[in-house]
Structure 1
């Protein structure tokens, strides 16, 4: 018992200098300070080995994110600029006004999943494997429209549980175009500019919606732009975002009649343009390098021949974007 007391005094002395001045201080105080020190030590060790919701594991690598998008995202100047602007603005604020909500729109294979992966990779040390990065497929998780009331309870509980664990979580909703209308409004209270909901701060979270809604309309606009002889880089975000908004509010889709659109709660609509042959060719080269294949003009062209381009006569845009299997 004497040895334990002496040990506790030494440890407590490290925590609080007053104990050193009076080594025979009240034993309860000594034990309290010892427990405090032990708690700090445990948290420090735990954070070193196990992922925790702090700066050791969530690193906000904006420079790396910008460099990655600049070098490996092809043909998507609107998405690149929009993502960097809104991600940086959100992360650089110690107390954001509201949660960041980005809605990605474009046809299959244009890079929506790809950009989401890059974002996770540069914000979390473990990337998509982080326990604070949550990917949910609307088609798989919410297949039945008649079960929306049940899905609402489940989605609400899921959001609250994960934000309570880590306010700096990111939620990626894939195949949003297959989500039953009205369901997404369940998370609306967590996206508004409230300071807290139920004592929990929801404003540091990031939500990314991936959808093909307005994808055809964006493609038609890009084709008309090309047909008129204008450079792709001249496509402005305002024109394409207006197309997304008109489509989202005039057709039955995941955002149809949603309060998230009309209040509004979505921070930004991010358009993904259809990909031209030069963009697809670079995608193929990257994929071959990643898989250890020898990259030659002949091998790249052999893959290109298997891809359908639209329109049939002009052959401008890839029908499947960069969604290539080989």
Structure 2
């Protein structure tokens, strides 16, 4: 009798998720067949697959994220505090902002690796990109319904789920507000608690403001590390809130203070791109080759044009570019 009830419960949950899901789950089930469906139903949301490694997160941020002293500190404190809290009042909501190649996607990967045994490959980590999953404005209402059902179904299955929204600056205004109830201070909604979930927003919006602040500090002869979160967080949230292209334009998530941290990713300098190159060289299994790395970085684009302080693309594309110089 107990086995029958459990089977029926699993059937109800998976049916609800499948009926209302977005494309990623459909592709997963179709591509994996019955084995994939069985894995989706019975893969354990337990300590076997989910166990926070705070030391690993701290070391990874310190050793692999370059030029982001603010982001390193905020992410470590925010994620560690949340994961060690046995009774959080709401889900953890992080909004990561900065130009391309500054480390936003990489940090979301490091968070996933610190929480889930399989990192980004975990079935409890869900990645959405605006251009792939929410590309047609005519389907906005359908996207809202599907997104709500997707999140509800997966949190029902595993309360410690992680949702990453990339390209927020390309997301249709109003779409992200559809998940506002899941991010609020509710004990549960229709019997489902979202308090243990993690939501991460990635966006280029606000990058201009971050560049402006970093450039002013440099021109005043101040060290980059003198920039504090208080110098950026308020101006960043206001910039995103009032930017029609941010995906968070006039969103209730900001208005109701549901974003726990606006995390700034500063533009990278020459020395930081060099560090990325050295790490990528090691990742490819090569011996240290400072000549090749420096040759690559020298030919990359930096701005302002005369001073050449900040990298236009950060560390993005280094993996493919480096091969040319070896």
TM-score range, shorter chain: 0.7 to 0.9
From 258, 270, 276, the equivalent of 1:265 is: 258
Correspondence for 2:220 among 228, 239, 253: 228
Q: 1:68-119 CA deviation, whole Å, 9 max, x = no partner?
A: 1111111101001110111111111111000000000000000000011111
Q: 1:284 aligns to what?
A: 277
CA contact (8 A) 1:218 1:243 kept: no
| Distance (whole Å) between structure 2 residues aligned to residue 178 and residue 294 of structure 1 | 40
Aligned mates of 1:284, 1:213 — CA distance in 2: 26
Runs of 4+ in 1 over 6 A off after TM superposition: none
1:305 offset after TM fit, Å? 2.6
Q: Deviations over 1:135-172 (max 9, x none)?
A: 11112111122321111011111111111110000111
- Partners of 1:219 and 1:258 lie apart in 2 by 24
* Distance of 2:123 and 2:290 partners within structure 1: 41
Structure 1 length-normalised TM? 0.84
Does 2:169 match 1:187? no
- The secondary structure found in structure 2 opposite 1:255 is coil
In structure 1, runs of 5+ residues without a counterpart are: 1-31, 40-45
Q: For each residue in 1:183-221, what CA deviation from the matched residue of structure 2 results, as whole angstroms up to 9, or x when unmatched?
A: 000110000010011111110000000000001110111
Per the TM alignment, residue 242 of structure 1 is displaced from its structure 2 partner at its CA by: 1.7
Instruction: Give the match for residue 293 of structure 2.
Output: 300
Larger Rg, first or second structure (1 or 2): 1
Count of paired positions:
283
Within a 5 Å distance, the mapping from 1:47-66 to structure 2 comes to 51-66=43-58
Residue 310 of structure 1 corresponds to: 303
- 1:251 is aligned to 2:239: no
Q: Distance in 2 between matches of 1:289 and 1:69?
A: 17
TM-superposed deviation, 1:239: 1.2
3-state SS of paired residue (1:172): strand
Q: Using the TM superposition, give the Cα deviation of residue 56 of structure 1 relative to its aligned residue in structure 2, in angstroms.
A: 1.3
Q: Contact conserved, 1:105 with 1:211, CA < 8 A, in 2?
A: yes
Displacement of 1:257 after TM fit?
1.2
> Partner residue of 2:199?
207
Distance of 1:162 and 1:316 partners within structure 2: 44
Residue of structure 1 aligned with 2:80, choices 88, 97, 115: 88
Partners in 2 of 1:257 and 1:243 — Cα distance? 15
The CA distance in 2 between the partners of 1:304 and 1:237, in whole Å, is 29
Counterpart secondary structure, 1:52: coil
Distance 1:296 1:94 in 2: 47
Match of residue 123, structure 1, among 83, 92, 115: 115
Among 159, 162, 172, which residue is 1:167 paired with? 159
Distance 1:55 1:98 in 2: 21
With normalisation by structure 2, the TM-score equals 0.84
